[in-house]
Amino acid sequence: MARDPIVDEVRQAREALLKAAGGTLENLFDYLERQQQAAGRTVVVLPPKRPDDQSVPRSA
């Protein structure tokens, strides 16, 4: 199977982030959260949407 350069790049980026965060997923989460806060952008959390009764398929 041929190697995909995009997949290789994504894997390298993942490894670099994991290493920068200390090697664990918990540390990675904390690291990314700190990066997000340092960016100064507002995080938007939208409420879940309820499906419209007419758009829900009905069984016969």
Task: Report whether pLDDT(56) > 60.
Answer: no
pLDDT band at 60 (very low <50, low <70, confident <90, very high): low
Q: How far is CA 33 from CA 10, 12, 15, in A?
A: 20, 20, 17
pLDDT score at 42: 87
pLDDT score at 55: 60
pLDDT tens profile 7-47: 999 999 999 999 999 999 999 999 989 998 999 988 889 99
Q: How far apart are CA 29 and CA 2, in angstroms?
A: 32
28 in Cβ contact with 21 (< 8 Å): yes
